[in-house]
């Protein structure tokens, strides 16, 4: 016999909220009800469960976290800084503070901000009189833990809950490993388990994301994923129909500017580009056509970006051009249109971007893709094909973060002044890989002088002081490497930062740079302080920044692009131009690079290529796994690997058998110079640093799937 229904199952979740909070939801915000996500979050958050809340951009995740936590704060009489609210971007924290503080004031509480741009006077007030909710970044939290000015127990000892906004953005890179390690150390300060709440956009593996967020206690504490609004039908984008997405081919960035200048006049348009250089060039092109345009990217100064975002939020007939910085929830008001120049690298990014629209009643989510090259048209079509299938990338932490293990060993030694040479793994509560498996890294750090050992205790060593000791070890708090840049100043006003190459390369005439969508003439360069002074110029500026990280598309996306070449169309509106270019691809080029029955090996003169359509990482793995037939002097692409010109069918079969027909995979080859992009690689033996980079370059699953497919050799052996 089935158990009788529990009466508690029929209790309205709103009944659990604090009466004052509920009053203000109705009377201050004017809301008749909460969204399904916000209702579903009340129980687990007030019960102290670890929770991941999943909803599209502007889905009400901040309120879903704040209302129950403020109610718990009142009900359980939390005191001091009881809630930490962590974000990946300082701009997002700035944007959220007024809203979160206004909610806190409903119940007589307050919120405050702490990050690298907050002046010392305001930090001092936070240290003396901690707020109830402290908004900060993981890097600033690390700085609090190692800073000599902060009384850890007074400021952080009463933390009950940590909210991690845009948690998916952390989990997919090294900042996630850093975040987890710092949260474990925070629990050592509080002496209790801390409730962990993640706010996330749609991801392909939400259960795994929750497990990741729980850290050392994964599976041991109550936890749940709350995602009542995310299921969607193929091609729906969560709102509206597939017709709200259109794919066009314009052939150049200048043509994209012409179209944007005349399209949807009178409306507010957000244009995404996937490089700072493209943002600058498009912004300048739109400004020359008298479009009211604003720019936002990471190399613009804080004031410049804030002015742009505020002006855009208050304007109507205007365009803001941005990199992914405006993907992560920063409020720029109601939008009419999202326009994507070329294509993002992931479906998750696209969902974030299209989620910016359709917020007003009666409007639908929409996105117009403008491809400036044939290759990016194909990428956009492949991405939209995946989206139409309802597929979203799983979020996966980068493997083997040995450099961050080393960083954490230094950081915790700074925090505690000394740690036991046997007890150090306890600082992270057994969280892997910050556990005893890191012993070889610790031994190397002692041998290299980064740590000193005396009487069973470990101390900061002279080599750590020399390399990282400047400004109270501030470089030790950030897990990512930032390429060197020069600050650009017009008088006393900071415009932003530019790549040194713009200032050093040989060029005839005056030195002109493009920043903020405007051209500037360089009048003086202060090389010692890395500053460039400029004055306005009419035109001709150059924008350039050094890219960082490993380039390349995923196995899933490149396979979807292959499907497009084989005839699959994404479930969106295709313009006549887009259809014509795709038809040209399929008729003229596709037969030589794709085949429905498997992969292809082709020869053009001495150029032998294996068209895998497996993505850069899988191809790099395959090139290393098949050394007897892969050309040793090559850089694999997303789509193909170059093979030796004397390849024969027999040599192919032998190489495949040597790899166990996909069972034996080898890490990609790595140039020793590549470790420079791995922050704190100096703390590791070179062989471990190179092994870490190689592991991050590999895609064993994609390589295995490709190697076990049928292959067609479309050439006669050379003689």
CATH for 320: 3.40.50.300
**Which has more confidence, 501 or 388?**
388
Q: Average the pLDDT over each of 50-59, 97-106, 409-418 and give the range with the smallest value.
A: 50-59
20 and 82 assigned to the same domain: yes
Please tell me the predicted confidence (pLDDT) of residue 527: 87
Angle between helices 19-27 and 61-75 (to 10 degrees): 150
Give a yes or no: residue 320 inside a domain: yes
Answer yes or no: are the C-beta atoms of 572 and 388 closer than 8 Å: yes
Cβ atoms < 10 Å from Cβ of 670: 19
pLDDT digits (tens, 9 = 90+) for 143-152: 999 988 888 8
Q: Average the pLDDT over each of 6-15, 448-457, 522-531, 641-650 and give the range with the smallest value.
A: 6-15
654 and 524 assigned to the same domain: no
Residue 293 phi, psi (nearest 5): -125, 145
* 142, HSE (Cβ side, Cα atoms, 13 Å): 28
Q: Average the pLDDT over each of 240-244, 460-464, 595-599 and give the range with the smallest value.
A: 240-244
Give a yes or no: residue 263 inside a domain: yes
259 and 183 assigned to the same domain: no
Query: CA nearest 57: which of 395, 381, 324, 371?
Result: 324
**Above 80 in pLDDT, residue 547?**
no
Per-residue pLDDT, averaged over 617-623, amounts to 95
Q: How many domains does the chain have?
A: 5
Give a yes or no: residue 399 inside a domain: no
**Above 80 in pLDDT, residue 82?**
yes
215 and 257 assigned to the same domain: no
CA 391, 359, 239 angle in degrees (round to 5)?
35
* % of the chain at pLDDT higher than 90: 65
pLDDT digits (tens, 9 = 90+) for 340-397: 999 999 999 999 899 888 766 666 889 999 999 999 999 999 999 999 999 999 999 9
State how far the Cα of 120 lies from the Cα of 114, in Å rounded to an integer: 10
Tokens read off for 392: 């979203």
**Residue 127: pLDDT band by 50, 70, 90 thresholds?**
very high
Q: What is each CA distance from 43 to 6, 62, 199, 533, in whole angstroms?
A: 15, 16, 16, 56
**Above 50 in pLDDT, residue 100?**
yes
Please tell me the predicted confidence (pLDDT) of residue 1: 43
Give a yes or no: residue 572 inside a domain: no
pLDDT digits (tens, 9 = 90+) for 306-320: 888 787 878 888 899
**Which has more confidence, 229 or 517?**
517
**Which has more confidence, 718 or 275?**
275
Per-residue pLDDT, averaged over 30-44, amounts to 95
**Residue 202: pLDDT band by 50, 70, 90 thresholds?**
confident
Please tell me the predicted confidence (pLDDT) of residue 235: 34
365 and 410 assigned to the same domain: no
**Which has more confidence, 486 or 558?**
558
Give a yes or no: residue 656 inside a domain: yes
Per-residue pLDDT, averaged over 252-265, amounts to 94
54 and 166 assigned to the same domain: yes
Q: Average the pLDDT over each of 250-254, 362-366, 616-620 and give the range with the smallest value.
A: 362-366
54 and 152 assigned to the same domain: yes
Q: Kindly give the pairing relationship between strand 457-460 and strand 318-322.
A: unpaired
682 and 708 assigned to the same domain: yes
Cβ atoms < 10 Å from Cβ of 216: 19
**Above 90 in pLDDT, residue 676?**
no
Answer yes or no: are the C-beta atoms of 76 and 24 closer than 8 Å: no
State how far the Cα of 222 lies from the Cα of 211, in Å rounded to an integer: 11
User: What is the helix, strand, coil percentage profile of the chain, to 5?
Assistant: 45, 15, 40
Residue 473, SS3 per DSSP: coil
Tokens read off for 121: 């006077």
Please tell me the predicted confidence (pLDDT) of residue 243: 46
**Residue 664: pLDDT band by 50, 70, 90 thresholds?**
confident
Residue 217, SS3 per DSSP: helix
Beta bridge partners of 629: none
Please tell me the predicted confidence (pLDDT) of residue 503: 85
Give a yes or no: residue 418 inside a domain: yes
* % of the chain at pLDDT higher than 70: 93
CA 201, 207, 210 angle in degrees (round to 5)?
75
CATH for 446: 1.10.10
Tokens read off for 66: 């704040």
Residue partners of 478: CB distance under 8 A and separation at least 6: 139, 679
**Above 90 in pLDDT, residue 473?**
no
State how far the Cα of 179 lies from the Cα of 189, in Å rounded to an integer: 15
Tokens read off for 632: 């040793």
> What is the separation, in whole angstroms, between the first and last Cα of the chain?
79
**Residue 690: pLDDT band by 50, 70, 90 thresholds?**
very high
136 and 27 assigned to the same domain: yes
pLDDT digits (tens, 9 = 90+) for 595-615: 999 999 999 888 999 999 999
**Above 60 in pLDDT, residue 548?**
no
Answer yes or no: are the C-beta atoms of 87 and 109 closer than 8 Å: no
Cβ atoms < 10 Å from Cβ of 658: 14
Domain stop point among 455, 477, 499:
477
Q: Average the pLDDT over each of 479-488, 635-644, 648-657 and give the range with the smallest value.
A: 479-488
Q: Which domain holds residue 520?
A: 486-536
Per-residue pLDDT, averaged over 558-584, amounts to 96
Place of tokens 């090294």: 174
Mean pLDDT for the chain overall: 89
Please tell me the predicted confidence (pLDDT) of residue 329: 66
Per-residue pLDDT, averaged over 665-689, amounts to 86
Give a yes or no: residue 252 inside a domain: yes
Q: Average the pLDDT over each of 117-121, 236-240, 350-354 and give the range with the smallest value.
A: 236-240
501 and 378 assigned to the same domain: no
**Residue 549: pLDDT band by 50, 70, 90 thresholds?**
low
Give a yes or no: residue 347 inside a domain: yes
**Which has more confidence, 232 or 302?**
302
473 and 490 assigned to the same domain: no
Per-residue pLDDT, averaged over 503-528, amounts to 87
State how far the Cα of 321 lies from the Cα of 257, in Å rounded to an integer: 11
**Which has more confidence, 46 or 510?**
46
315 and 184 assigned to the same domain: no
Place of tokens 């996105």: 367
State how far the Cα of 72 lies from the Cα of 78, in Å rounded to an integer: 8
Q: Average the pLDDT over each of 477-486, 650-659, 671-680 and give the range with the smallest value.
A: 477-486
Beta bridge partners of 224: 51
What radius of gyration do the chain's Cα atoms show? 27
Please tell me the predicted confidence (pLDDT) of residue 267: 87
């Amino acid at each position: 016999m089935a158990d009788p229904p529990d009466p508690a199952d029929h209790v309205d979740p709103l009944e659990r909220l604090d009466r004052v909070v509920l009053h203000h939801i109705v009377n201050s915000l004017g809301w008749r009800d909460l969204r399904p996500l916000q209702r579903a979050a009340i129980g687990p958050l007030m019960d102290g469960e670890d929770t991941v809340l999943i909803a599209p951009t502007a889905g009400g995740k901040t309120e879903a976290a704040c209302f129950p936590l403020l109610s718990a704060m009142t009900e359980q009489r939390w005191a001091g800084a009881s809630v930490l609210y962590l974000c990946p971007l300082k701009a997002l924290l700035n944007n959220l503070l007024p809203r979160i503080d206004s909610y806190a004031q409903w119940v007589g509480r307050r919120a405050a901000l702490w990050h690298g741009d907050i002046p010392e006077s305001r930090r001092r007030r936070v240290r003396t009189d901690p707020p109830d909710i402290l908004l900060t970044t993981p890097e600033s939290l690390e700085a609090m833990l190692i800073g000599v000015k902060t009384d850890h127990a007074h400021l952080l000892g009463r933390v009950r809950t940590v909210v991690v906004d845009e948690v998916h953005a952390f989990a997919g890179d090294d900042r996630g490993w850093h975040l987890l390690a710092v949260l474990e150390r925070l629990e050592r300060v509080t002496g209790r388990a801390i409730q962990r709440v993640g706010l996330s956009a749609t991801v392909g593996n939400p259960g795994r994301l929750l497990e990741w967020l729980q850290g050392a206690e994964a599976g041991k504490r109550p936890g749940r994923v709350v995602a009542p609004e995310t299921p969607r039908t193929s091609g729906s984008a969560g709102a509206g129909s597939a017709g709200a997405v259109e794919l066009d081919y314009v052939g150049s960035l200048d043509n994209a500017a012409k179209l944007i200048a005349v399209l949807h006049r009178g409306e507010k348009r957000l244009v995404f580009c996937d490089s700072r250089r493209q943002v600058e060039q498009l912004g300048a092109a739109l400004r020359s056509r008298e479009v009211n345009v604003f720019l936002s990217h990471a190399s613009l100064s804080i004031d410049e970006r804030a002015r742009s975002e505020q002006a855009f939020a208050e304007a109507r007939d205007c365009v803001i051009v941005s990199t992914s910085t405006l993907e992560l929830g920063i409020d720029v008001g109601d939008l009419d249109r999202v326009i994507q120049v070329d294509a993002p690298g992931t479906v998750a990014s696209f969902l974030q971007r299209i989620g910016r629209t359709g917020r007003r009643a009666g409007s639908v989510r929409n996105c117009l893709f403008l491809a400036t090259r044939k290759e990016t048209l194909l990428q956009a079509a492949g991405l939209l094909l995946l989206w139409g299938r309802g597929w979203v990338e799983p979020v996966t932490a980068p493997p083997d973060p040995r450099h961050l293990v080393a960083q954490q060993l230094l950081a915790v030694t700074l925090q505690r002044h000394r740690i036991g040479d046997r007890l150090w793994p306890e600082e992270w509560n057994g969280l892997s890989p910050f556990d005893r498996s890191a012993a070889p890294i610790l031994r190397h750090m002692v041998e290299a002088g980064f740590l000193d050992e005396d009487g069973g205790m470990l101390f900061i060593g002279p080599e750590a002081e020399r390399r990282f000791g400047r400004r109270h070890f501030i470089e030790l708090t950030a897990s990512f490497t930032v390429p060197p840049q020069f600050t650009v100043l017009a008088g006393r006003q900071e415009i932003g930062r530019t790549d040194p190459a713009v200032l050093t390369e040989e060029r005839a005439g005056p030195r002109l740079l493009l920043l903020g969508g405007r051209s500037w003439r360089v009048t003086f360069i202060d090389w010692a302080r890395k500053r460039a002074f400029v004055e306005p110029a009419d035109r001709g500026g150059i924008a350039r920044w050094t890219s960082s990280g490993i380039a390349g598309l995923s196995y899933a996306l490149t396979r979807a692009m292959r499907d497009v070449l084989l005839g699959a169309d994404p479930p969106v509106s295709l313009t006549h131009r887009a259809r014509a270019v795709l038809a040209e691809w399929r008729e003229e080029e596709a037969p030589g690079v794709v085949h429905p029955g498997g992969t292809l090996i082709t020869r053009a003169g001495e150029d032998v290529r294996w068209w895998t359509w497996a993505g850069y990482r899988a191809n790099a793995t395959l090139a290393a796994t098949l050394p007897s037939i892969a050309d040793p002097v090559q850089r694999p692409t997303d789509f193909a690997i170059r093979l030796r010109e004397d390849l024969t069918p027999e040599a192919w079969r032998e190489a495949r058998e040597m790899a166990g027909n996909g069972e034996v995979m080898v890490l990609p080859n790595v140039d020793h110079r590549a470790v420079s992009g791995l922050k704190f690689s100096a703390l590791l033996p070179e062989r471990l640093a190179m092994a870490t980079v190689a592991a991050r370059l590999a895609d064993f699953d994609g390589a295995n799937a490709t190697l076990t497919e049928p292959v067609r050799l479309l050439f006669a052996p050379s003689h």
